[in-house]
């Protein structure tokens, strides 16, 4: 339990560090040193934002959602690793909990990102929910009713009469690894080369 708690704390620290270390544009620098120049209102900050601030705003949003998704996929892996990938079956209660986590992932990831991550989970759903159900999920849908609807869909019943849901144990990249790759790409996309200085708004290569 201590190790898992430390893991989640490390994700939080990583997310905070990545967001803070993005240099940003004029508005971000002005806001960072507000003690010298005074605080800005939200309207003043928005008016001062330049292209570099918008780049960093997008990157920070990606970093936050991918770090949260990383934590969710890690929790999912712990929830189903032993039963799902060793015994090749999970209980209905575990299946419902995993569907709830899938809904969280769908709210954090774009359709293409979710498709990549979801395909590595190993669910053996008979209906093509990756395109028909999850791709149509919106945050306006009541999550409990939505998951209940999925769980009760007879076409998605992959049990063998024993009440257990089958899982595909085929070796594949695990979801947390994919989220780490996304974070890695975002970091290098915003890396300010020490020689070229081509991304002054990004992370400094050397300090």
| CA separation for the pair 37, 44 (Å, rounded) | 13
For residue 154, what pLDDT is reported?
A: 44
SS3 content of the chain, % helix, strand, coil (to 5): 65, 5, 30
78 closest CA partner among 90, 62, 63: 90
| CA separation for the pair 168, 67 (Å, rounded) | 26
Torsion region of 88: left, alpha or beta (phi above 0 gives left; psi -120 to 50 gives alpha):
left
Burial class of residue 187 (count of CB atoms within 10 Å of its CB; 0-12, 13-18, 19+): middle
Q: Where is pLDDT greater, at 198 or 8?
A: 8
Chain segment 4-47, per-residue pLDDT in tens = 899 999 999 999 988 888 888 888 888 777 766 778 888 888 88
Q: Once rounded to an integer, what is the mean pLDDT over residues 167-187? A: 89
CB of 156 closer than 8 Å to CB of 130: no
pLDDT at 108 over 60: yes
For residue 203, what pLDDT is reported?
A: 85
Chain segment 39-94, per-residue pLDDT in tens = 888 888 888 889 889 999 999 999 999 999 999 999 998 888 888 888 888 888 88
Q: Once rounded to an integer, what is the mean pLDDT over residues 96-121? A: 86
For residue 192, what pLDDT is reported?
A: 85
For residue 146, what pLDDT is reported?
A: 58
| CA separation for the pair 18, 180 (Å, rounded) | 13
Average the pLDDT over each of 11-20, 76-85, 151-160, 189-198 and give the range with the smallest value.
151-160
Above pLDDT 90, what percent of the chain? 19
For residue 143, what pLDDT is reported?
A: 56
């Amino acid at each position: 339990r201590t190790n898992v708690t430390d893991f989640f704390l490390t994700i939080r620290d990583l997310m905070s560090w990545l967001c803070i270390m993005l240099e940003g544009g004029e508005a971000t620098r002005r806001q960072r040193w507000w003690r010298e120049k005074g605080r800005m209102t939200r309207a003043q900050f928005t008016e001062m934002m330049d292209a570099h601030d918008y780049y960093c705003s997008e990157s920070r949003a990606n970093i936050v959602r991918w770090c949260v998704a990383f934590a969710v996929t890690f929790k999912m892996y712990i929830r189903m690793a032993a039963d799902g990938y060793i015994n090749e079956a999970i209980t209905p209660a575990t299946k419902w909990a995993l569907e709830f986590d899938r809904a969280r992932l769908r709210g954090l990831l774009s359709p293409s990102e979710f498709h990549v991550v979801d395909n590595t989970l190993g669910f053996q759903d008979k209906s093509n929910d990756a395109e028909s159900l999850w791709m149509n999920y919106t945050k306006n849908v009541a999550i409990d009713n939505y998951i209940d609807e999925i769980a009760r869909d007879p076409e998605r019943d992959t049990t063998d009469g024993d009440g257990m849901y089958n899982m595909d144990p085929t070796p594949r990249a695990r979801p947390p690894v994919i989220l780490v790759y996304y974070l890695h790409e975002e970091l290098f996309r915003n890396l300010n080369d020490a020689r070229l200085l081509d991304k002054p708004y990004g992370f400094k290569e050397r300090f």
